[in-house]
Structure 1
Amino acid sequence: MSFVRTLRGDIPKGQLGFTYSHEHIVCRPAFWAERGEDDLLLDDKEKSKLDVLDFKRHGGQTIIDATAVDYGRDVDAVYAIMEETGVQIVGTAGFNKSFLWNAKVKEELKPIIGNYNTYYEWIDAKSINELADFVIREVEEGLEGTPFKGGQVKFGTGYNRITPLEEKTLRAVARAHHETKAPVHSHTEVGTMGLEQIELLRSENVNLAYVSFGHMDRNPDPYYHEQMATTGAYLCFDGIAKIKYAPESTRIHLLLELVRKGYENQILISGDTARKTYYKHYDYGLGLEYIIAKWIPRFIDEANKAGYDGDKLVEKFFVTNPANCFAFKR
């Protein structure tokens, strides 16, 4: 039986329920903290919990927390939120993207990875297989030395480029995937370099049906999305509510184009809610309730008017597809 690994433990994939596929719940990214960017620090567990409770009140059941080790995650706080709210949370092993690696390694991590001053130093010093071993331990033993295990493995690349160290972490994550059978998640900066990532993953013999690519709506190009989807990969549209990047009409059009072309089984939806100003209980933002409470009714209306069954598509995007995407492949 396929299972999903939550921070609490493994569950049958059918128990995942309504799922946001890419969020951040409690994190203090050192890169942003060192630069005084307070908006990017989700540093109050109780405020984050209130937004998670809003999500639950509207029927939400699971959140994929995409926060990797280099983005200042607080594993214990996120686990506590899961226990106190009853919302299932999946944690993330692996890495983010290279510009973050100039930040100082938090002291609690040094006994685990070695006495490196920055993430860059650590990643540069280690071999691909040594980094893969670190990711494997986070999936099989626990994140950052806790008993709470990662449920997916992640890598990332920058805007219109892949640095040598990003390629290194991609290959490490690919090898960790083969060892653990954990699903793979990719950060694409502004939706770029997805096809180039795919070529590298193929060189590591990764089946693209086990991979989800984030931030696809940041690159609103239907042709590009089709090229990505033909590989069998999942496409994560996780910029809902971010009108500064594109209106909702653009995102909904992109989604319905993929549905029209037959790729409705490969779509994931979320908000990548990673700023205080996006959260309701930090700074009066739209919050984690926005997609489930307000965006979905609009999507259903537009999908129905376009000749599709909006309710069935919502079931796919938020229930069926996440259950398949985030399941371990044994």
Structure 2
Amino acid sequence: MSFIRTLDKDIAKEELGFTYSHEHIVCRPAFWSERGENDLLLDDPAKSELDVRDFQKHGGQAIVDATAVDYGRDVPAVYQISQNTGIKIIGTAGFNKSFLWKARIKDELKPLIGDYETYEQWIEAASVNELADFVIKEVEEGLEGTPFKAGQVKFGTGYNRISPLEVKTLRAIARAHHETKAPIHSHTEVGTMGLEQLELLKSEQIDLSFVSLGHMDRNPDPYYHEQIASTGAYLSFDGIGKIKYAPESTRISLILDLVRKGYENQILISGDTARKTYYKHYDHGLGLEHIIANWVPRFKLEADKAGFDGEKLIEKFFVSNPAECFSFKR
């Protein structure tokens, strides 16, 4: 049996449709809020909803909200956007990278995790199995005590390093996966440490075809990408539109290189749109419509020129690959 878990119900994977695989819709990360980084606070659900509607207007049907507990989720607000628009939203249980854990835990969470001041204190004090139990409840009962469930589990690591506490959360996520069969997603800082993450997951007997690695285009290294793809894991190219990191020609070349090597079924595409200045209706950015409205037509042209079927590849990257990647397979 295979299904996808959206916030409010389980659906057949054929129902998912055109999907962005890594986004942030409404979040108020405490780490950035405490430092006055207003651009990193997506704190107006009405504006977020307008961008979701733009995505929908161009044919978008589903979004994976990759916001974990330590990144300031607003689960009811995201659920309401899903209800208002009809866009299917997959929520995320688990953790991000460790430097964010120095932030204060909001008071509403303390009854669920204990009276800790920061996420770091909680993660350090809890056992791996206690952290896994928290994640399992978010998948099977609901995120942060709501009835809205997670459809994937997540961990993260830092730039060219994996700290002991990040290893701890990785192992907790692996054990939560074994219990729930929820797909696993990882944050890689600037696309680094992906292979090391996969080795740690293998030590927890994880089938790597259940795993997607984020931010692969931040490390534009075809050799590295091929090594990851050869494990069976999915590669998420989720920096579309962020030209300060690389031009789109680089991303498209990386993607087509993987296709040429036979890995077209392991590629996911998204924007990781996590700043006001990236959103159209917050601050005049490219918005959630940019990939589906502008990047997809360009990719089709580039792929066709290179001798591929661009339409078929877009169907894979945004429809069939997400449907497989985000399935619970029991």
* TM-score where L is the length of structure 2: 1.00
RMSD: 0.3
2:212 counterpart of 1:212: yes
2:251 counterpart of 1:251: yes
- CA–CA distance in structure 2, aligned partners of residues 316 and 214 of structure 1: 18
Aligned to 1:45: 45
- CA–CA distance in structure 1, aligned partners of residues 32 and 329 of structure 2: 35
Aligned to 1:278: 278
| CA deviation map 1:101-144 (0-9, x unaligned) | 00000111001000000000000000000000000000000000
Aligned to 1:239: 239
Q: Which amino acid aligns with 1:286?
A: L
SS in 2 for 1:21: strand
Aligned to 2:79: 79
| CA deviation map 1:143-170 (0-9, x unaligned) | 0000000000000000000000000000
- CA–CA distance in structure 1, aligned partners of residues 138 and 7 of structure 2: 11
Aligned to 2:63: 63
Q: Which amino acid aligns with 2:51?
A: D
- CA–CA distance in structure 1, aligned partners of residues 150 and 297 of structure 2: 32
Aligned to 1:24: 24
Aligned to 2:126: 126
Aligned to 1:221: 221
Structure 1: 5+ residue runs without aligned partners? none
* Superposed displacement of residue 7, structure 1: 0.5
| CA deviation map 1:31-83 (0-9, x unaligned) | 00000000000000000000000000000000000000000010000000000
SS in 1 for 2:328: coil
Q: Which amino acid aligns with 1:3?
A: F
Aligned to 1:5: 5
Identity across matched positions, percent: 79
Counterpart contact for 2:156–2:188, Cα < 8 Å: yes
* Superposed displacement of residue 8, structure 1: 1.5
SS in 1 for 2:232: coil
Q: Which amino acid aligns with 1:30?
A: A
Q: Which amino acid aligns with 1:300?
A: K
- CA–CA distance in structure 2, aligned partners of residues 246 and 105 of structure 1: 35
Moved over 3 A (4+): none
Q: Which amino acid aligns with 1:108?
A: E
Report the number of matched residues.
330
* TM-score where L is the length of structure 1: 1.00
Q: Which amino acid aligns with 2:286?
A: L
Matches within 5 A, 1:137-176: 137-176=137-176
Counterpart contact for 2:8–2:147, Cα < 8 Å: no
* Superposed displacement of residue 25, structure 1: 0.1
- CA–CA distance in structure 1, aligned partners of residues 301 and 56 of structure 2: 23
Q: Which amino acid aligns with 1:219?
A: N
Aligned to 2:325: 325
